[in-house]
Structure 1
Amino acid sequence: VSEFNSDLNTPIQYIKGVGPKRAEALNKASIQTVNDLLHYYPRRYLDRSTVKSIKDIQINDEVTIIGNVEVCGERKTRKGKLFQALLSDGTGITTLIWFNGVQYISNSINKGDRLAVHGKIEFYKGLQIVHPDYDKLDSDADPVNTGAIIALYPLSAELKRAKMEHRSFRRIINSIDSFFVSATDYLNESITKDVGLITLRRALKGIHFPKSKSSLVASVKRLKFDEHFFLQLLMFLRKSSFEKIGTKSLTKSGPQLDIIIDELEFELTAAQKKVIKEIKNDMAKHNPMNRLLQGDVGSGKTIVAIIAAVTAVTNGVQVAIMAPTEILAQQHYKSFTKQLNKVHINCALLVGKQKPADRKKILSAIENGMINVVVGTHALIQKDVKFNNLGFVVVDEQHRFGVVQRGNLLEKGLHPHLLAMTATPIPRTMAITYHGDMDLSIIDEMPKDRLAVTTKVVDKNRMVKVYKFIINEIAAGRQCMVVYPLVEETEKSDLAAATEGFEYLEKQFSGLNIGLIHGRIKKDDKDGIMENFAKNEINILVATTVIEVGIDVPNASVMLIEHAERFGLTQLHQLRGRVGRGSNKSYCILVERNVTPMSRRRLTIMENTNDGFIIADEDLKMRGPGKYFSTEQSGFFRHKIADIVNDGPIIRKAREAAKKIVKMDPLLKKHFLMKERLLKEYAQYLDTVNIT
């Protein structure tokens, strides 16, 4: 019996205790079937085995206490209202306070209720716990609540409105106890034995109704392993299928490449030379290269891509370079033509907003092979773009593109070699987890002449000094960029924030030329402003994060980032990379408007290091993988319980097991249940894999 049999596919509305209203709320939480419910894991647990008496608790203790609600109700505050309850256990009284979800809590907790609560003890006019986890206990012996460790579930607003509380989840899951038997394992006994895993049914039972801490740990380990294993299985299958595809090997090396390297105004770093060798070795093979090139901002990835492109053209194939924005595409076009013109290699730019006549001419030249290298945006993947002999593809800032978009470009050639690039350093655990199907190259060395940018965190009280410093830099002939964050939708728009900032700075810097650029400005206007900034006709450029990539103005020496606490570390590092591109000393000033211990810790990291890989690791630890990338691999974030920051040993075991399976059975013919699960979870990413 498969895990996905008729029993587990039973629609949730037919389960006792659900009903139409609850079914609708559960459906919105992606719980459509019994199987979905079994895999809806608790958010955390309330451990009743470590209950303390109120008389014994100390300030700052993380405690679980059980008591009765003596008094409760809503109270108005200056900012709205709160819900307050006095809890007594016979040895003392503590106050429970909720500032959020007041309406729900007010409807849920009543005088006389018996509660088990967990949280941190604070002191304000007496002992209190703010936003405790809680569970209502029945006065009679409810079998669902007899366990020492109680599951607490993620509760959306819809679930709360449908009166789906933690206790409701436990009761409903307890009522489908017979369904656990249907959860047949898709892992071989050899894997479970080797890794030390319990069965899937025991894990599912144990995650919802743990009998002890050790049984909970075993359940979590098994379910984490499953999530990591199937993602790694996907990666190894993709890698294996790529290695079986035949393509043209690009082995020739002509004089054009020597001319470009000899005439460079700088010497290639050892890291660049190493990476170029790795890329050339891949291009010389009879199966397509599938390589990810990582390099910090300013490490010199573009020249590596140019050298690879020249190698491809020397071997008689066309090259396509796809960038996520027109600004970045134009920047690449400028860099490529500067080098390619020296050796008479034809290069064209293809973006969305070109005159029809110009576009028609470019498309014709691409199709008849007159254009060797095409730099563009998503415009490259449109149906009317036809290549004569596309053999090499570069995708820059590849995390901005989906798997389908990259696939559409690759399909325009006959299995072309692929070089994906990113200036967002990827932590090793994430690279292994989400890019396991690609070979990795890292430029881990900066050019010798690249000056480190000095970073300083300031608060709003030091802005007079900051503005004076900017005036001095501009007086010395330099330029400045001021960036405002994308503001939350509930507040004013990013456009309003940048516009207000622009108007304020015009008053502060009267007599200076100030430009404003944001996402909604017309392309022609944007290009004009950027051109004027590049010519030093604009002293200060005010912008939203549209300047995160693609701006290359060597004369800009100051990057001022407003509300720096709102940005992720990786994004701050990208913005910082917009300065320090010339021979002048450069500065990044991070303005912290709302100071918290976490924001100070994060921004101090920016002050202390310019190493993008250290920053990426810290960003991953603090924010997790979900916020790390924008659209890339967004479908891979299926993890409900796995944690790539802390699951290192489990990830290694999962990789070893997946690699072994693919080596032994590349079509999964002997692993039917595994194949079934993989097809269910990752069908859209199996485009290059033939296992059906």
Structure 2
Amino acid sequence: MTGRPSILFPLFAELETLPGVGAKTAKLLSQMGIERPRDLVFTLPYSGVDRRLRRSIREVVPPATVTVEVEVGAHVPSRRKGGPARVFVRDAETEFQLVFFHARPEILARQLPTGQRRVISGKLEIFDGVAQIVHPDHILRPEEAKDLPEFEPVYPLTAGLSLRTMAKAAAASVERIPDLEEWIDPALKLREGWPDWADAIRAAHGPKGNPDLAPTAPARQRLAYDEFFAHQLTLALARSALRRGKGRPSVGNGTLQRRVLDALPFRPTGAQERAISEIAADMASDRRMNRLLQGDVGAGKTLVAFLALLIAVEAGGQGVMMAPTEILARQHLESLRPMAAAAGVRLELLTGRDKGAERATKLAALKEGKIQVLVGTHAVFQKDVDFHDLRLAVVDEQHRFGVAQRMELGAKGRAADVLVMTATPIPRSLALANYGDMDVSLLDEKPPGRKPVQTALVATSRMEEVVDHLRRAVAEGRQAYWVCPLVEESEVVDLTAAQERFRSLRAALGEGVVGLVHGQMPPSEKDVAMADFVAGRTKVLVATTVIEVGVNVPNASIMVIERAEIFGLAQLHQLRGRVGRGSEKSTCLLLYQSPLSETAERRLAILRETEDGFRIAEEDLAMRGAGDLIGTAQSGLPKFRIGDLERQAALMAVAQDDARALLAADPELSGPRGRAARVLLWLMEQDRAIRLITVG
């Protein structure tokens, strides 16, 4: 099966092929990301309206939607232009009014002839003590009323698109669904009591009441599972394609690693030793490594990554470490330098800033194998960058590197092993969604010598006390970070805020004590400001953004975060991790502006209670949702139309096991269930995954 199976063609036709959908409606739908009937099938109603016929409006408590049969009474035209016209009606027990604005009297007379019976459905409200329905949703003859659903589904809409048009287009799309062979494991389907695919679609679009709209409804659970399963199947295929791609065994002899370990003032933690042996085993096998190194702030990922790079060098090859930004790349360079010196290997940096002769020299040294470990930004990916023998690529990912980019890195065909590092502890459901194609090594212990950081909440009204505290600390020779918030959308205003804070602290603490870094500075000035702080020439560093503070200054033992309530939990946790790296007792002061909202208060309280990044991440997910947690814009996180990562986390784990088991049993997806799964991949537009099967 090379192209999309013909059974799915009707779902992938143009939207204009649906009854009642013209160019204008199609354009409105495409604003909602709906391009084809298939997308409508997967756009489920999010609520519903009870339209059951009642005897009288007295059976409901306004404001509420009500459907009643009435006798039409007198028409009272509007007194002024554009004012309300009223129509009196009477149900089995009481009289009320229908109200219309900008209505033409002759149209109203035609719709609601006095003395006749009509079924009215709409929102009943009390206005000045009078019961009324303004612009009823439905005005029907009694014989037409049987077509009104008892529970009317409500779909997401966009400006200009009516519910009626949307519902009609969705219903027409649902009529096109074929009966498909089952791709879910029969035992799982039976255990969960899930309907067949087509029945599940019909049930999800035809809810009988509110329980049918919940993520726990069997039809919705099944459809969410289909999405997760297709996604995990794609990841599992990517993983097996990477593994099929012949790896090259890289076996280290331990000499360079030993030099680094001997130079360390402490022994690695159990978690670090475990991670290194997992990585070494992967690199020694003839399959390509595709591993995620997940560790909390300060868990010692850098050491593990560098030891892995040294295995590549010991095996006679080269290693590269890639960071998403230049500042992070420089930071890696700084932290790796002493280790590279201890090991006696040549380490260089390559970024977009390298130009001309300098760049040419580096590239030549790289091609000849003289540079053993390269640190860089995505510039490392450029066409003219050739390695002599690249064995390992370490990607410091900060979430900018999605599954698609990892596939590309794999497709470079240089059989290099891949190790992705992430400093953000991620709840398991998200880790599975984003890294289901990878094996995971977890660093869940703090290295010895990391002291707990004391965290305190301080209202901004006590700013003077905070400055006094800093004055005493500076007199004792300690150093501090002061992070200013990004309050405004405009960087100019943020800059002013940071510059003002810098000036007031300089006035309070003295000339030459305070430094400033912000995003608008020329890189060279930024480097100077950072260098002054690292060397201890300045004692307090005022910074606008989080990332620029990503340096390791063991002497810095105070972190002040201004307007902490507007930062995310993970961000605050990352910032706090910048202190507590030295021998001094460290503190983190969260300055907040009162009154605090309930969520902000809960966020700050969690931070005060725990330093466990994994617990913080779980809380963050519960409070903010998956997209926000990792910044959807650059997360590479799949967008599910039905599946809900927060509420259906457990389904994702089942989907991963199921997908891996199916591929282990049927790697070509050629058996009955495998063929059904191929149709699912086409249905879910995972065409890339299908190419991966055929590549094999």
Q: TM-score higher than 0.5 here?
A: yes
Confirm or deny that 1:184 pairs with 2:180: yes
1:596 matches 2:597 = yes
Give 2:363's aligned amino acid.
Answer: L
Does the 8 A contact of 1:573 with 1:606 survive in 2?
Answer: yes
Aligned residue in 1 for 2:106: none
Opposite residue 441 of structure 1, the aligned amino acid is S
Provide closer, same or farther for how the CA distance between residues 402 and 539 of structure 1 changes in structure 2, counting only shifts above 3 A.
same
Residue of 143, 167, 170 corresponding to 2:167: 170
Question: 1:541-560 residue pairs with structure 2 within 5 A?
Answer: 541-547=541-547, 550-560=550-560
8 Å contact 1:2–1:673 — kept in the other structure? no
Structure 1 unaligned spans of 5+: 69-87, 94-111, 119-124, 127-133
For each residue in 1:192-219, what CA deviation from the matched residue of structure 2 results, as whole angstroms up to 9, or x when unmatched?
Answer: 4454321222222222221345655122
**Secondary structure of the structure 1 residue equivalent to 2:474:** helix
AA matched with 1:262: D
Structure 2 residue 667 is the aligned partner of structure 1 residue 683 = no
1:211 maps to: 208
Displacement of 1:268 in angstroms is 1.0
Tell me which residue corresponds to 1:106. none
- From 11, 15, 20, the counterpart of 1:17: 20
Equivalent residue pairs, number: 634
- Partner residue in 2 for 1:7: 10
Q: Which amino acid aligns with 1:187?
A: W
Q: Assess, with a 3 A threshold, how the Cα gap between structure 1 residues 143 and 599 changes in structure 2: closer, same or farther.
A: farther
Matches within 5 A, 1:355-370: 355-370=355-370
**1:503 corresponding residue in structure 2:** 500
1:26 aligns with 2:26: no
What is the Cα deviation at residue 556 of structure 1? Answer: 2.0
* Cα separation, 2, equivalents of 1:273 and 1:618: 29
1:153 is aligned to: 155
Tell me the distance in 2 between the aligned counterparts of 1:632 and 1:481.
29
CA distance in 2, matches of 1:117, 1:313: 76
- Within-5 A mapping of 1:319-468: 319-397=319-397, 399-407=399-407, 409=409, 414-468=414-468
Q: Is the 8 A contact 2:38 2:173 kept in 1?
A: no
- Give 1:574 deviation, angstroms: 1.1
1:65 and 1:309 mapped to 2: Cα distance? Answer: 66
Q: How does 1:50-199 map to 2 (within 5 A)?
A: 66=66, 115-116=122-123, 136-138=137-139, 146-155=148-157, 159-160=158-159, 162=160, 164-175=161-172, 178-180=175-177, 182=178, 184-185=180-181, 187=183, 190=186, 192-193=189-190, 195-199=192-196
Q: Is contact 2:403–2:434 with CA below 8 Å preserved after alignment?
A: no
Mapped to 2, the partners of 1:550 and 1:417 lie a distance apart of: 27
Q: How does 1:243-322 map to 2 (within 5 A)?
A: 243-322=243-322
Q: 1:178 to 1:378 in 2, by over 3 A?
A: closer
User: Is the 1:2–1:183 contact (alpha carbons within 8 Å) kept by the matching residues of 2?
Assistant: no
- How do 1:644-663 and structure 2 match up within 5 A? 644-663=645-664
Partner of 1:525: helix, strand, or coil? Answer: helix
Q: Counterpart amino acid of 2:490? A: S
Q: Does 185-194 or 599-608 show the bigger shift?
A: 185-194
1:515–1:12 CA distance, 2 compared to 1 (3 A): same
Measure how far apart 1:418 and its partner are: 1.3
SS across alignment from 2:419:
strand
Q: Is the partner of 2:176 in helix, strand or coil?
A: helix
User: Counterpart of 2:500 in structure 1: which amino acid?
Assistant: E
Structure 1 Cα separation of the partners of residues 536 and 661 of structure 2: 58
Task: Determine the C-alpha separation between the residues in 2 that align with 1:673 and 1:291.
Answer: 30
**Aligned position for 1:641:** 642
* 1:18 positional shift: 3.0
* 1:42/1:240 CA distance change after superposition, 3 Å: same
CA contact (8 A) 2:663 2:669 kept: yes
Offset from partner CA, 1:578-621 (integer Å, 9 cap, x none): 22222222222223336211111112111111110001111111
Shift in Å at residue 323 of structure 1? Answer: 1.2
SS in 2 for 1:582: coil
Identity of aligned residues (%): 37
Contact 1:242–1:688 (CA under 8 A) maintained in structure 2: no
Q: State the distance in 2 between where 1:658 and 1:635 align.
A: 20
* 8 Å CA contact retained: 2:155, 2:167: no
Aligned-pair CA distance for 1:631: 6.7
**Deviation for aligned residue 1:380:** 0.9
**One-letter amino acid matched to 1:294:** Q
Q: How far apart, CA to CA, are the structure 2 residues paired with 1:174 and 1:401?
A: 38
For 2:532, what is the secondary structure of its paired residue?
Answer: helix
Q: Aligned residue for 1:42?
A: 45
1:273-330 deviations in Å (ceiling 9; x for gaps): 1111111111121111111111111111111112112222111111111111222222
Post-superposition shift, 1:229?
0.8
Deviates more, 1:235-244 or 1:292-301: 235-244
Residue 648 of structure 1 and its aligned partner are, at CA, apart by 3.8
SS at match of 2:248: coil
**1:184 maps to amino acid:** L
Q: Cα gap change, 1:144/1:617 in structure 2, threshold over 3 Å: closer, same or farther? A: farther
Please tell me whether the aligned partners of residues 454 and 586 of structure 1 are also in contact (alpha carbons under 8 angstroms).
yes
How big is each residue's C-alpha offset from its partner over 1:456-500, in whole Å with a ceiling of 9 and x where there is no partner? 22333232322222222222222322223444xxx5413422322
Structure 2, gaps ≥5 residues long: 69-89, 97-111, 113-119, 130-134
Shift of 1:367: 0.1
Task: Report deviation, 1:149.
Answer: 3.4
Shift of 1:415: 0.8
Matched letter for residue 377 of structure 1: T
2:580 matched to which residue of 1? 580
Rg larger in structure: 2
Instruction: Name which of structure 1's ranges 1-10 and 30-39 shifts more when overlaid on structure 2.
Output: 1-10
Residues 230 and 5 of structure 1: is their aligned pair in 2 closer, same or farther, counting only changes over 3 Å?
Answer: closer
Pair 614,209 (structure 1): closer, same or farther in 2 beyond 3 Å: same
| Structure 2 contact 266–448 (Cα < 8 Å) conserved | no
**Is the CA contact 2:42–2:642 (under 8 Å) kept in the aligned structure 1?**
no
